[in-house]
Every structure is written in C-alpha cells, then in structure tokens.
Amino acid sequence: MAPSFKPIIANAQDIVWDKTVEKDKPWTIKFNKEIVFNDVDAYIYRAYCYARIDKNLEEGLEDIDKALDLQPNNLLAYTAKGYIYRRQFKFEESKTNLNKGVELTPKNAAEYSIRSLGYMLLRQNDKAEADIKKVIEINPKATDAYYRIGYLYEIKKDYDSALKNYNKAIEIDPNLGEAYEYRGTFYNSLDEYEQSLKDLNKSIQLGPTGVTVYYKRGLIYYNLRKYTNSIEDFTKFIELKEQYWQAYFYRGLAYGSLSQNDKSISDLTKAIYLNPTKAESFSGRGTVYFRLGKYEEAIKDFKVSTSLYTNFYDYDYLGSAYAELGQYEDALDTFTTALEIASDDETIPAESISSIFKKRGEMYILLNDFQSALSDFDSALYFDENNKEALDYYNFLTEKLNMSI
C-alpha cells in the first residue's frame, strides 16, 4: 500500500528546513540517506522535495513521469505533479492532474481538497466550493474544508456564512492556527481591527504558521497606527519572503508615519524596483520627497503615479510641487485636472475640492488673472464655507477689484 500524502509533506519539510545540511545540496544527500522506498515512491518523494524548495521543478516533473512509467495509476504521482504545476503557476495543467487523482479515488476527501485549491487558484470558485462540500460530506470534521469554504463565502460577500464556517473550523479544532488566521483576515476586511488582531495573535501563538500571518498582522497594526509594531511584523515577513513588494511598500509608509524618511524612501524605492507598475509606491515616495522639500524628485514620482492611475490626491501634490518651484502655469493646469477628476467622483470630500479651488485661485493671482482667482475663491467657499484662507482672499480681491473700477 502506498504511503499517505501527509508523510510526503512532513518528510519534504524536514529536508527543506534542516539548517544543518549544506545549502547547495540539502535534499539529495539527506533524501537518499534517510528515505528508502521502492523506485516509484522515491521518484515521487524527490519530486515533491524539488517543489517544496522551488528548485529544479522541471527535474521534479521528470521524476514524476518516471514514476508514472513504472506505475501509471499512482495517485500520489498525479497529486505531486499537480502540485508542481501549481508552483509553476500552470494552473490548467495542475487541475488536469488533480482531476486524475479524483478519478482514481472518488471517495478520497484529500483529493477533492487538493483539487479545490487548484480551482481556487484558477478562480473557478463554484467548482472549488463543490469540491469542498464533497470533502465535508466525506469527512464532516475536515477543519481545513470549513475555513476554505468560509473564504469562498467571504469572496461572495456572504459574510454570515463565512463567519459561521470559520467558527465551525475553530469549534472542531480550537488549536488550529490556520483557522484563526483566516478568521482574523476576515475581520480585517470588515475593518474590525481589534478582533482581527486578537485572532492573528492566536494564530501565531499556536503555530507553526505561514509567513503571511506576519504581513497580515503588520497591516492591522498599520491601520491601528501602531507603526512600530507594524514595522516589526513587516520586517519579520521580509526576512522570510524578501521579494514581496507590498511588504516594503507598507513598511515604507510606516517609516514615513514615524518621520524616518530615509528608511521610508529606501523601502518605497525597493517596492518600485520589485514592481514598477504600482502607482501607490511612486505616490508614497513622492509624498515623502514633498514633505522633505525635494520638489523636483516629488514631481518625477507624481508624474509616474498619475500616468499609472488617475488619482485626485496625487494631482493635488503634483500641482503643489509645481507651485513651490514657481512653475505656476503647470500648477494651474494640474489643479484643473484634479478638479475635473473630482467632478466625476462623489467620494472626494467637499473640503478637499475647496482646497484645490483655493490653490488654483492662488495661481491665478500669481499670474495676474484676478477675475478667475475671485471665481475660484467663490467656488472654494461654496464647497466649504469655513475655508478661512479662501474667504480672506475673496474679500481682498473683491475690495481690490472694486477699487479699480
């Protein structure tokens, strides 16, 4: 009888995380020394080890093909092959092999569970949900099925059903860290930060947990303005997964909130290096440059951010940077663009629109167009009658223009 899937995972993890083995050849020596099975199982186990450390994935596929040559209907071979394809982001190929596993063992809950993960990666959530329900039907105490179907309900915005299933997973196994992580993430999406933090702390306490829980908790601390705690968690996450641009982005924002501007710029620059298509990273760095009075650098960043994504607030900063450098016509044009954006976006607060009218009015004054300036200050007061600067300008210009008549 072939060994179960769980020992494969356990053995592979032992090999991958054994710090005493030489880094350049950790698994082949240890694998051949400590795991002795028939040829089929040896090929499968070695392939899975390749997958676990994201190394030699093509060789892993070759091992699986050799295993299937020896035993064409080996369930674990198809499961491992599906897993390797998933690591290569070849989700259709992954699904095909996992389907084969289900065909070979139609009453095996583990196969439905693994295939559901493939469907979720393909965003075929209805099929994933059907597979997870099948898992629960076969094994009503399958805790991972409950928190994963809870996640699918969360995507559908069926929050009551999502919470019910997260709670069910924890009821079955109160020591399951993953379930607390899922529920904590769910609470975060509802802006229930304190409850989210409580669950994520519990997940880490129970351990072992995936590295993403530190990223998620870092976000909670950031939203709660506990920036030092946030930086600690993002740093922990980056130590384990250094190529994740969002971690550098949010840590950069946290550093900026603590006025540690050099560290903020460094992290935001790293985020841009890792993913130069994200407007928010350029926007974040531009904001720091603006705060430091480095207006030319700020302009460069806000030009990029506004080319990637239309954002009212970035045009506000961009226009203000032009104004600081005495480029009044550029500032005026930029503030006009911001107001055009605001006319189509009801979410922008009236006070923010008032501020832009006031700033554009100032540009008109500097360009000696006093009538246009007066009109803008009047508009600023329409959106915010408490805008004192706009009121002062309005009264000054009204008197000045009346005297000139």
Domain shared by 128 and 173, yes or no: no
Reported confidence tier of residue 52, pLDDT bands at 50, 70, 90: low
Between CA 368 and CA 375, with CA 371 as vertex, the angle to 5 degrees is 125
Residue 156 and residue 120 share a domain: no
Q: Give the H/E segment covering residue 380.
A: helix 370-383
Establish if 246 belongs to a structural domain: no
Q: For residue 394, which phi and psi values (nearest 5 degrees)?
A: -60, -45
Q: Please, which contacts does 257-263 make with residues 24 or more away whose CB atoms are closer than 8 Å?
A: 257/225, 257/227, 258/227, 258/228, 258/231, 261/288, 261/291, 261/292
Question: What pTM did the predictor assign?
Answer: 0.72
Q: Could you tell me if 103 and 64 lie in one domain?
A: yes
**Residue 309 maps to a domain:** no
The domain tally of the chain equals 3
Q: Domain containing 183: what range? A: 141-209
Do 10 and 130 reside in the same domain of the chain?
Answer: yes
Q: Are residues 113 and 25 in the same domain?
A: yes
Residue 269 forms part of a structural domain: no
Selection from 118, 150, 266 nearest residue 274 by Cα = 266
Q: How confident is the model at residue 314 (pLDDT cuts 50, 70, 90)?
A: very high
Long-range contact list for 219-227, CB < 8 A, 24+ apart? Answer: 219/188, 219/250, 220/184, 220/188, 220/193, 220/196, 221/197, 222/250, 222/253, 222/254, 223/188, 223/191, 223/193, 224/193, 224/194, 224/197, 225/257, 227/254, 227/255, 227/257, 227/258
208: enclosing H helix or E strand: none
Residue 152, domain CATH: 1.25.40.10
Q: Which of 164, 182, 209 is the last residue of a domain?
A: 209
Distance CA 50, CA 35 (A): 15
Both 4 and 49 in one domain: the answer is: yes
Name the token pair of 14: 């032992």
| Alpha-carbon gap, residue 373 to 107, rounded angstroms | 76
Torsion sign, CA atoms 239, 240, 241, 247: negative
pLDDT score of 25 more than 50: no
Domain annotation covers residue 117: yes
Residue 329 has pLDDT above 60, yes or no: yes
Judge if 120 and 195 occupy the same domain: no
| pLDDT top residue among 211 and 121 | 211
Give CA–CA dist 353/343, Å, rounded.
9
In a domain, 281, yes or no: no
List pLDDT tens digits, range 208-260.
667 888 999 999 999 999 999 999 999 999 998 878 899 999 999 999 999 99
Residue 19 Cα distances to 51, 56, 212, 386, angstroms: 18, 20, 21, 64
Phi-psi region of 387 (alpha: psi -120 to 50; beta: other; left: phi over 0): beta
Q: Is the pLDDT of residue 400 over 90?
A: no
